[in-house]
Amino acid sequence: MQDLHQPSTLKQVFGLPVLVAALGYMVDMYDLFLFSIVRVPSLKAIGIPEERLLDDGIFLLNLQMAGLLVGGIVWGILGDKRGRLSVLFGSILIYSLANIGNGLVATLPQYAILRFVAGFGLAGELGAGITLVTEVLPKAIRGFGTTLVATMGVLGAISAYFITYLFEWRMSYFIGGGLGLILLILRISVLESGMYAKLKGRNISKGNIRMLFGTKERILKYINSILIGLPIWFVVGILVTFSPEFGKALGLSAPVEAGKAVMLAFSGQVAGDLVSGFLSQYMQSRKVVIRLFVLLSLGLVLIYLLAPVSDTFFFYVIITMLGFCNGYWTLFITVAAELFGTNLRATVATTVPNFVRGATIPLTALFTLGRPYFGTVYSALATGLVAFAISLLALRTLEETFTKELDYAEE
């Protein structure tokens, strides 16, 4: 394993392309979890009654995820056809303007449209950033670069909590939009990936999403690279986002604050991202570490939903530990990027995380469908068990990518 303390290694890991990708993911996560934090106060401010807060919150969350789904496809194809930088510029501009618009909404339809547009804009950030990092860094230290991206991103979610603590929800959206515009200026100095620059002049199909379905092997690789991330967004999209409702259903001693739950979950994920990244480098394996984190997460989900915990403080501790187990998020996106050639890499690395985020839609639908019959807790349990089982089965079929050379094209 290459020593992170070597000056040349540090210079590459903390180079401008990696830092710009990391800051982009920070803005991405700020917005995604800003809504989770301000969901209740913002909906109340535009006149949504108390009994509609959960259902309308799920509606807006699903529209945001639908935007991520559509944007993931568009930005992924664009990243392979036009280059990684085209996505890094276009996505942050659309996100910034949409986020400023989110701070001006007065009705639920306005809010819904702008959550979709913001999701569409953000969809390109992480995939293009991870693609750029995996292509500009040597294979021996790719894990260090993606760990930095992951850590900065999760700090964005934590920042969202503190910003909303200091400012009301509309100003919090304005700040997110302003941060995006500042990042747009910083990106002017970033150069295109060398691997992509070499590929650009070749007469080869780039960003052709149909190629992903050209062979059985590619189809399975692509689908399974998506499915291994399902537990992360089950935890985030259901257990953390709607933790106030779970707190009531579990009979906790005091109400759960959504903002605090998000902040604690992503504080835990900062630690998880660091541990999973460095453990992957040490063990020289992506799969072993991902499996370990998925199994730990499953155990904590069972504790969250079934343990006789009545004290809100211990409930927050469990949420923090669940966040830690979600720390394989960037590791699984790195695997997706490493599984495919340069002419499809941005398409895969951008669509995969957004399809996982978009999986919040069927997961929340399954959860909502079961609530009238099984109640909030047991409906979530059934949904979670399905997500974890699918993830572990998908992981078994994927190849190990730690030492894989990436300078090749899919034919």
pLDDT tens readout for residues 305-317: 998 788 889 999 9
Cα separations (Å) of 348 from 192, 225, 279, 376? 18, 9, 24, 34
Number of structural domains in the chain: 1
The pLDDT value given to residue 232 = 93
The pLDDT value given to residue 242 = 86
Helix (H) or strand (E) holding 319: helix 312-325
Asked if the structure places residue 64 within a domain, the reply is yes
The per-residue b/e assignment along 268-297, b for 16 or more CB within 10 angstroms, e otherwise, is bbbbbbbbbbbbbbeeebbbebbbbbbebb
Asked if the structure places residue 119 within a domain, the reply is yes
Asked if the structure places residue 131 within a domain, the reply is yes
Contact indicator for 345, 131 with CB cutoff of 8 Å: yes
Q: Indicate whether 381 pLDDT > 80.
A: yes
Measure the CA–CA gap between 118 and 116, rounded to whole angstroms: 6
Helix (H) or strand (E) holding 308: none
Classify burial at 189, counting beta carbons within 10 Å of its beta carbon; exposed 0-12, middle 13-18, buried 19 or more: exposed
Asked if the structure places residue 45 within a domain, the reply is yes
Better-scored residue on pLDDT, 151 or 10: 151
State the CATH number of the domain containing residue 274. Answer: 1.20.1250.20
The pLDDT value given to residue 338 = 86
Asked if the structure places residue 206 within a domain, the reply is no
Determine how many CB atoms are found less than 10 A away from the CB of residue 309. 18
Please report, rounded to a whole number, the percentage of residues in the chain having pLDDT higher than 90.
27
pTM across the whole model? 0.75
Helix (H) or strand (E) holding 181: helix 169-186
Reported as a pLDDT band with limits 50, 70 and 90, residue 81 is confident
pLDDT tens readout for residues 331-341: 888 888 888 88
Q: CA dihedral in degrees (143, 144, 150, 156; nearest 10)?
A: -170
Asked if the structure places residue 285 within a domain, the reply is yes
Contact indicator for 165, 259 with CB cutoff of 8 Å: yes
Which residue range(s) make up the domain with 352? 13-188+212-397
The pLDDT value given to residue 10 = 66
Q: What is the mean pLDDT of the chain?
A: 84
pLDDT tens readout for residues 107-139: 999 999 999 999 898 888 877 777 788 777 877
Asked if the structure places residue 408 within a domain, the reply is no
pLDDT tens readout for residues 183-223: 888 777 676 666 666 666 666 766 677 777 878 888 899 99
Q: Indicate whether 45 pLDDT > 90.
A: yes
The pLDDT value given to residue 290 = 95
Q: Indicate whether 302 pLDDT > 70.
A: yes
The distance from CA 291 to its chain's CA centroid, rounded to whole angstroms, is 18
DSSP-based three-state secondary structure for 48 = coil
The pLDDT value given to residue 382 = 95
Reported as a pLDDT band with limits 50, 70 and 90, residue 87 is confident
The pLDDT value given to residue 139 = 73
The pLDDT value given to residue 370 = 92
Kindly report the CA angle at 410 between 409 and 411, in degrees rounded to 5?
Answer: 110
Asked if the structure places residue 301 within a domain, the reply is yes
Q: Indicate whether 408 pLDDT > 90.
A: no
Percent helix, percent strand, percent coil in the chain, to nearest 5: 80, 0, 20
The pLDDT value given to residue 259 = 78
Least confident interval from 104-113, 353-362, 372-381: 353-362
pLDDT tens readout for residues 22-37: 888 888 888 877 887 8
The mean pLDDT value for 233-257 works out to 88
The pLDDT value given to residue 206 = 62
Amino acid in position 27: V
